[in-house]
Structure 1
């Protein structure tokens, strides 16, 4: 279960003055999970990490819009459901960060390479099967020709009626 902290506690953990912390929380509210009403708000402990990142980006000279774009790539946005008053806002099941997308791209590249190897193996198998089928077909055709020749010879010998004397002396 997540731990929720007051603004003063978050400001202290992040090393940011209380007033600056409030300004950051208001400017980038879509990145923070909040519990409580207007009077006493508590923020999820993960807010400290976001606030430190915001402070660092401001120190680098980024403006608010640029920081918002950067945070959108690094942290999930919080979707607040208005009819759930008094309950903690729920974090979406997962919005991809830059690292997530990089991981997905790497996995996709590995999958492409695996698919390529698999297709090559399948092509080799198909070539082997085709060559074996061709050999089998040739042997079958040769056997069929031999069988037809034997039938012709048998039929030819049956059609010839030899006389009694030809059969005894084996003359043709």
Structure 2
């Protein structure tokens, strides 16, 4: 796999676009350039000391545009040639490319008012849903309670009827015994 096809393969996996322009994260760029992530961060810190500015994402991590990748690639190549130190390579590349570097546009801020409107709509819909759910749960609870009360009343009535029937049977048994006692005594 050639270097360019490797770069395309990596970018297919983990690239993102903002405003139609590709951006990369630190892991992807380090793989593209064949350097460790810590080495890439070291290069970037040195570039920032020479007034090179990187854009950052919403959580404060650097994002790399294709132009940033090309500049870092040039620095790596110049440094690996062995003729210059890292600091000298950064200074040389940044001074020669300073006019091209300033063309990089900052990441546009999202329209928070639209996001807030969407959130408010969602919040209102969620509150309505929650209210309907609460009403439904209250109806269900009332139904359960009334069903239990009705069942308890029927059960108590059945127990009372059963006890009354047993009393009547016991009284009938007592009468039968009394009738037999009468005949035995005579």
Question: TM-score, normalising length from structure 1?
Answer: 0.45
Question: TM-score, normalising length from structure 2?
Answer: 0.42
Q: Name the one with the larger helix percent.
A: 2
Which structure would you say has the larger RCO, counting Cα contacts within 8 Å and 6 or more residues apart? 1
